Amino acid sequence: MQEAITSSAVISGSLVIIVSGAGVMSEYITMQGIPEQILNYSMQYLPNGFIFMVFTILLLLLIGTFLDPIGAIMILVPILMPIATQFNFDPIHYCLVITVALGIGYITPPLGLLLYTASFVTGRSFVYVSRAIMPTLLIYILALFIIAFVPAISMFIPNMLF
């Protein structure tokens, strides 16, 4: 019991540090005008929303492998959301894509942080867990692209409510 409480405290403390650091970094990035610079750059070099969405998905899958999703959201949403708005993406739809992509990145080898947790909890090797997740991971990525490029799927319930 004592071991479980200690483990929970360590994990909670780690999350507080990550969220605090991400909040400070997000504020710094915003104060430096980096979102506006990236917006200008992307509008110049990304010709349409399709390419921007593919770029976003690949970026988030990569970042999700080595950064906690909460921290990544706090850092990246202030940067990416203005660009998505310029390409006329619905904010709810775009945030869903961000959340799903970061979640998939969190379980993507070789650095998927959640794989280390799964390895520890199951007592299996990291290589075993990484291989076991691959078929499911491919299905998740396919589902992510379907969600990203068929917004009616992710917007069905919000459209019914509002």
% of the chain surpassing 70 pLDDT:
95
What is the pLDDT, as a whole number, of residue 18?
66
Q: What is the pLDDT of residues 132-151, one digit of tens each?
A: 999 999 999 999 999 999 99
In this predicted structure, the answer to whether residue 6 has a pLDDT above a threshold of 90 is: no
Give the mean pLDDT of the chain. 85
Q: Which domain holds residue 8?
A: 2-161
In this predicted structure, the answer to whether residue 130 has a pLDDT above a threshold of 70 is: yes
How does residue 1 score in pLDDT terms, banded at 50, 70 and 90? confident
How does residue 22 score in pLDDT terms, banded at 50, 70 and 90? low
Round to whole Å and give the CA distance between 155 and 73: 20
Average pLDDT value for residue range 51-70: 88
Q: What is the pLDDT of residues 62-119, one digit of tens each?
A: 888 877 788 788 888 888 898 899 899 999 999 999 999 999 998 988 877 788 888 8
What is the pLDDT, as a whole number, of residue 56?
92
Integer Rg of the chain from CA: 18
What is the pLDDT, as a whole number, of residue 78?
84
Structural domains of the chain, count: 1
Which pTM was predicted? 0.78
What is the pLDDT, as a whole number, of residue 148?
95
